[in-house]
Chains A and B, each alone.
Chain A
Amino acid sequence: MVGNDIVDLKLAKIESNWQRPGFLTKIFTEKERKMIECSSDPFQLVWLFWSMKESAYKCYVQKKSIRFYAPTKLECELLSATEGLVLFEDKTYYTNSKITKNYISTEAQHIRDAKTEHYHFEFNTRTSAKQSEIIRDELKKITATTLNVPFDSLSIKKNSVGVPKLYLNNKQLQASFSMSHHGNYGVYSIVNTNR
């Protein structure tokens, strides 16, 4: 199971004001807020934690098909600058993040160090639907190669809770994958592609 999330840092600066009263308390636990407060780069830590929570949440929704908006229920712990844990109920998600000057991208899994295929995009279009199509096409391309099937036999459709699923000739594949795009950047992650 894999979930991912990407944050375009330049866009995050414009779209969200993390210093807005109430913002931090609605999203972060007391422990996380203390870490943000003490950080030399609070802006970066806010979005690192956010992408960790969001990617772990996407893992959870894939498995349980239950949606909710409770960012403070998922608590982040950092093991290193880029590795961490997200704790939610009795579950632990293992996260790996990539931090560049342009974006923060996190991948969460319920198994530590499980192998994923992932790819980061830098777009020259800002149209959300177009970006989504580019990521889907790349994901289909790599799956077509892995399974040795024609590109056109693959499709991606969202299920009732909005989780995208891969189909081979209308038969749902068990592959766990996740896609995210924000601003100029996008990413896909995929594991376990079987027929």
Chain B
Amino acid sequence: MIRIDAVTKRYPDGTVAVDRLSLEIPDRAITVLVGPSGCGKTTTLRMINRMVEPSEGSILLDGQDIRQQPVNTLRRSMGYVIQNAGLFQHRTILDNIATVPRLLGWSKQKARERAAELMERVGLDTALAKRYPYQLSGGQQQRVGVARALAADPPVLLMDEPFSAVDPIVRKGLQDELLRIQDELGKTIVFVTHDIDEAIKLGTMVAVLRTGGRLAQFAPPAELLSAPADPFVEDFLGADRGIRRLSFFPSAELELQTAPVVAIDAGAEKLASRGAAPYLLVTDVDGRPLGWGAPDDLTAGEIDRDRLLPYGRPFVPGTDSLRTALDGAVLSPTGWAVAVDGEGRAVGVVSQQVIGEAVRAAHTAGRPDAKAAR
């Protein structure tokens, strides 16, 4: 465990970057430091591997003061990922990843074998091994950065806004990849970001810092959303924290209706038997949703695909959260969300009202289920 104990960083000009910060960073979990610029989050991170020395206080790693071991030994035991990856532009991808193993005295061959293994682990084609950084996209470079940090299998990973400089789609891919890798490796990760959504998505614990380097709140993300400690945290979380909190409630309990789901090749009598619903969800012959149709249009005979209303974004019950389900219902012009299975086949529909009741029930049930966030 990393324990930050009453740490202050004061610069010679009097600026206080971090002010009596104490944090207990749990093992094998992702702890996110989040806050506006100037809140000292990067400074805090850099004090953990002594790139910045605290003015007061101490940092303990497994009960031992980090100043007790040689600084480069300490740093080689902590992977570090930085914004823009910070790759060595004059070295091949493979040699970039092999940097720390080589520093630790591994043979060139062993280090390169390890590097190739890591390329696969972070989802990079090993055909890129002999390329140079400029030949890779930003997202690929960042994956190399993560692989390089993991190369010597350090127990601790420090990540300084690693995904801030890539576009949102690539960022989401990298975040999902990090969660997957973390499930496999179980590192102690300290992750710095200014993006509260990223903090909530990735963090097992989230530390919100305020300008001047003071801790505003340290809590699991669901608790942060349901009970922000003060107006600053509430403001930092943004306007729709209620909606976002729904990410932590599972959608498995939603009661699905199957009656309004009809296949496109359904006969007139079958359509007639479903007449009670205001809209019917039309699927293709394999059961994949095509769109909503009004019963009157449908009973008129042939189903005209072009006249169907869009069905929004479907959710997968059990995998997706209540937030995704509600989003699907809001997006759908009929106000009903479409539930699909893993293969994208419609398994039922659910109305906004039903989802709303589930939200109320979840609130009264109290603690949200953190697992559903992913």
Q: Do A and B come from one complex?
A: no
Query: Which A residues fall within an 8 A CB radius of B?
Result: none
Query: Which B residues fall within an 8 A CB radius of A?
Result: none
